Each structure stands twice: as structure tokens, then as C-alpha cells.
Structure 1
Amino acid sequence: MDKTEQFQITDEKGRLDKYLSSALNEHSRSQVQSWIKEGLVTVNNEVAKANYKIQPGDTIHATIKEAEEIDAQPEDIAITIVYEDSDVVVIDKPSGMVVHPSLGHPSGTLVNALLYHVKDLSGINGKIRPGIVHRIDKDTSGLLMVAKNDLAHEKLAEQLQNKTAGREYIALVHGVIENDKGTIDAPIGRDPKNRKKFTVIEEGKPSVTHFEVIERFSEYTLLRLNLETGRTHQIRVHLEYIGYRMAGDPLYGPRKTLKGNGQFLHAASLSFDHPRTGEHLTFQADLPEEFQETLDWVRRR
């Protein structure tokens, strides 16, 4: 059901769309702009434009449209299943694949492929994210675990929360890191200046990333990283924070530095206790071909 929010302005706030995207922090600026175009936002009971300059004394009413529910459908999309039993599936996700459907990606996702290839998936995360216990970014490749029933989902999610599940990543970053290993302990929250990004911010959620140098090059460093927490874009944000941006990252890193379709980040190892038997399982995934070719090119330079 749609709802209307009211804002009474006491001082100058700048552009209408920018103010509302900050005030309605669960919604992006582009989403707010679409509502303004539809006439769902008024200032002093008159329809306003996105670039309207808010003044003291203004009263803003914004009608927030309920998101349309997406019905995920099975799609015959090839996926690499590393392991499967009656409780768990481990997938090696390719770079470029979104994990679950959204308004911007209603099809072609890992969930659409899972619904086709896997008979049963847990229902804890609803129809849009069946079986999805954790995610990796669209342009990050590698391993993630999927639950086939609610018991498995609860047990696996508990291990992630208790930090007993292991997740190891390989990343290529700009710059030469002198320390052989280190820990980045810095809170992460949404970037107030860019709603698409996250950043290290005082009021953010606790976030811890451990790194170890695998190999150094003249302009790059190859890293092994382990996560204690699983914040959105955590590795990318933490590496930017310490001054070593990820190669190929279109959002946080320098643009057009290496050929590729996204950041050079790969979820190479995944370990957890089986939710039913308790057996400790560990899985490895080789670097994707594009990542390996780029690494070989950097090494030859």
C-alpha cells in the first residue's frame, strides 16, 4: 500500500530530489526523481520539479509507491554447481551475474537459474531470494552457499553470524602494499553523498577485513582477504579506505585501467559445517579465465 510522508522545512535544504533521497534513506535519488516526474511529490500543495530549491516554511508531501512484487521464474541459465546434497548447494557464480531479482534486474539472475536446476530451495528469504543465505556483488565471481530447506538456511546463517563460516577472496588492487598482512577494522554505512556507494563512516556497522599479500607487482598487489563481517561492498570499501583501490572497480576504483567487465575480486574459498551432519566442508574455485589472463599480463609487465 502506498504511503505519504510529510516534511516541514525550517531552513534552506537545496534541491528537492537531493533532500528527499537523503530524508527517505531507503530509496535512491533516481527513484525519488521518478516519483517527482509522476507528480507524487508536492511542495505547498503544488506539484514541484526535481530541481526546486527548498525554502524555509515549505511543506513537502511525498507519496511513496509500494514496490512491485517480482515473481521470479525458472530460467534455463547455465550455472556451475560445485557441490549438492539434500540440504546444501555450493555455486561458483560467474562475474556479471546478479544474485537475485530486483526492479532493475527482473530476470537472468542466479535465483532464476537455481529455480530451474535445483528442485528445492529454502523459503526463509521469500519468493525473490529463495535459498540465498549470503550474496556476492554482480561483478564479483566465485563461491556462495545456497540452502535447500529452512533448517539448512537457519544453520548456515547462524554460522555466518557467529563468524564460524570461512570466506576467502582474491583481489587485485592498485598500488604496492608494503605490509605482508594486516586487518582493516572500520565501520561501514551508506555514503551520504552517493546513495549507490558505501563508505567508512562513524555511525556505520562494525566491519572487519583481514588481508595478506600473495604477490607484488610494479603497480599492483595481489591479495588474499578474509571477512569477519559481511557488509555490502565491504572489501571494496575497506580497500579504498586504506588507499589501495580495487582494479577494474567501476564504482570505487580508478576507471579504465585494466580490460574487464568489473572489479577483479573472486570468492576463492568457502568453508562451513554441514547443517545436518556437522561435517566441516571446504570448497575452492579457480580464478576465472579473464582474471587469470589479466594477472598473467600484469606479471609479464
Structure 2
Amino acid sequence: MQERFLQVPPGLDGTRADAGLAKLLGLSRTAVVTMLDDGGAQQDGATLGKSDRLRADAWLDLRWQPREAPRIVATPVPDLGIVHDDADIVVVDKPAGVAAHPSGGWQGPTVVGALAAAGFQIATSGAAERQGVVHRLDAGTSGLMVVAKSERAYSDLKAAFHDREVEKVYHAAVQGHPDPLSGTIDAPIGRHPGSEWKFAVVSSGKHAITHYETLEAFRGGSLLEVHLETGRTHQIRVHMAARRHPCIGDTMYGADPTVAARLGLERQWLHAKRLGFRHPGSGEQVVFESPYPADLARALEILRED
């Protein structure tokens, strides 16, 4: 059992308990919510709930059970495509249903586990469960990911993603027809106030910018090309849902389940189509592209036939 007794710093005054304690203790949001749900946090003697607010200079009495970090389990993923492989990087075409790396709430296959099973040696930089991972895709999103194999590649690519020097292009089929047909969504994204697993456009969120262009319009939706300027969790899904054009099949963010069923979709229609960056070894600009997987291609054909 871990125990801490400390004061709330002025910078966290008024912050929600779950967000503030995660920042104060360096723990994941999930770990902090578990501690709060177990009654392990008191502020000046009163038990804190996750939506309660921290008060500057109040005394916190905290007790929690540390969790073991998720382990990388070498598990083969037969349909994980290897698009490019060299001494510095490996670029994969990730199928849906595979997470980027292990996490507390995920029991399925992962990219790092699949690479380990295939004998790839990746960089040791980063947290133990996400070594070599410089960016992520949602488990339900297919497409291109680059993983660092050398320590130099890890440092260079992390900096490139942070400095917005990486070209990240997605294709998304959404419900309805965005107006205007091309545009930019500039809206901050943070944790959904009513759900531990969802995100939303909230004033206290992190800066997020999404550029989109309509490629095709159908009776039942639109195919968009999306360029990400920032890389927030669920960014495209949240921004399009906020415009009332959720990704088709994305029932978590309000998509019509009957449309998904008609198209045979069991996840959101969202694919990481193109990835471009400066190669950490050669210094040359490299660009990789991925075709639509079978489920998305089939759904798109049905939309076109309509």
C-alpha cells in the first residue's frame, strides 16, 4: 500500500480530483479513479469523489494499491502488415482489433507484442509497456504506424511528432454531409465529463486542430480525407461527432448502429491512409500509404451503390 500526505499546490486549485491527483502523483487517470472509488483520498478529512474539486493548501491524505505495469506479451498477429523495415524503423499496417501497446484496460493483441513474436528488436526507450512506440492508433482504427527500432530513431521521431513535422493523413467515412465540404475544426479535447473511456470537446481540454476535405458524397454519408495538425486521443472521432457527423460505425460517439449493421461494420470507418516523415537514419523524407482493409472497402462499395 502506498501512502502520501501532502498539500494541494496553488496551481491545482479548483481542479477536478481525478485530473489533479493524476498530475500530482504521476499516476494514470484510471489508477486515480480506482483510488477515489475505493475511498482512498481525503481532503482536510473529507473523502474525495472524482468530480470533487481540489482546494489550494488543503491537506491530502492518500492511500492506494500500486498496480503492476502491463507486460508486453509476444502474441502473433498474422494480418499485421510489415510495410517497411530497416535498422532504425519498422512501419506496420495495423489491422483493427489490435492496440498499439498493452494497457490496463486491454486484454487483446498489440503491435509491440506482435513485433516481439515476429522477432523484431525495437528501441528500449519509453515506458516498459510501450517501448519504441512514438505514436498510437485506436484499437478500432486500422492503418499505418511507425515503431522505432533504434534509440536515435525513437528520439528523432518523438521530437518530429511533438513539433508537428509528421504528415498524418486519414480517410474517414462519416454520417451526413459536412458543411462546408472542406474546412478546419479547431476545438480543445479532454476527458468526457460523464465517461472514463470517452473524450469530448471541452473548454479545459488540450489544443486540437483537424483539417478535412470531402472526397465523395453519398446518400448515406461522406468520405473525407483528414489531415491532423495535432494528435489527441480519439481526435478525429471526437471532432466529427462534435459536428454531428460521427464516423460511420462509431457507436461510442453517437453513430447510428443500424447504418453500421447494414454496412457490415463492427468498428468505426477510420483508416490511417498515409504517413510521411523525415527518416531518422538517412534524413530523407519518406512517405508510406495503405490500402483500405476489406471491411472498410466493402462498406464503401455499399455506400456508393446507394
Gaps of 5+ in 2: 9-15, 23-27, 50-58
Is the contact between residue 155 and residue 275 of structure 1 (CA under 8 Å) also seen in structure 2? yes
Farther off after superposition, 225-234 or 174-183: 174-183
- 1:213-238 Cα distance to aligned partner (Å, 9 max, x none): 00001120110000011001111111
Is the contact between residue 72 and residue 107 of structure 1 (CA under 8 Å) also seen in structure 2? no
Using a 3 Å threshold, how does the CA distance of structure 1 residues 41 and 133 change in structure 2: closer, same or farther? Answer: closer
Match of 1:69 in 2: 69
Match of 1:246 in 2: 247
Using a 3 Å threshold, how does the CA distance of structure 1 residues 43 and 276 change in structure 2: closer, same or farther? Answer: closer
In the TM superposition, 1:147-162 aligns within 5 A as 147-162=148-163
Match of 1:233 in 2: 234
SS at match of 1:152: helix
Match of 2:185 in 1: 184
Larger relative helix fraction? 2
Match of 1:219 in 2: 220
Is the contact between residue 260 and residue 266 of structure 2 (CA under 8 Å) also seen in structure 1? no
Is the contact between residue 210 and residue 236 of structure 2 (CA under 8 Å) also seen in structure 1? yes
Using a 3 Å threshold, how does the CA distance of structure 1 residues 107 and 4 change in structure 2: closer, same or farther? Answer: farther
Using a 3 Å threshold, how does the CA distance of structure 1 residues 196 and 7 change in structure 2: closer, same or farther? Answer: farther
Partners of 2:195 and 2:245 lie apart in 1 by: 20
- Cα-Cα RMSD: 3.1
SS at match of 1:128: helix
TM-score calculated relative to the size of structure 1: 0.83
Is the contact between residue 247 and residue 253 of structure 1 (CA under 8 Å) also seen in structure 2? no
Q: Are residues 1:267 and 2:272 paired?
A: yes
- 1:127-156 Cα distance to aligned partner (Å, 9 max, x none): 201211100101000001010011001111
Aligned residues: 283
Match of 2:288 in 1: 283
Partners of 2:44 and 2:280 lie apart in 1 by: 57
Match of 1:297 in 2: 302
Match of 1:122 in 2: 123
TM-score calculated relative to the size of structure 2: 0.82
Match of 2:95 in 1: 94
- 1:97-142 Cα distance to aligned partner (Å, 9 max, x none): 1111112225521111111224321122132012111001010000
Using a 3 Å threshold, how does the CA distance of structure 1 residues 168 and 22 change in structure 2: closer, same or farther? Answer: closer
Match of 1:14 in 2: none
Is the contact between residue 100 and residue 111 of structure 2 (CA under 8 Å) also seen in structure 1? yes
**Deviation at 1:195?**
2.4
In the TM superposition, 1:129-168 aligns within 5 A as 129-168=130-169
**Deviation at 1:185?**
1.0
Equivalent AA in structure 2 for residue 265 of structure 1: L
Equivalent AA in structure 1 for residue 227 of structure 2: N
Match of 1:27 in 2: 29
Aligned-residue identity in percent: 33
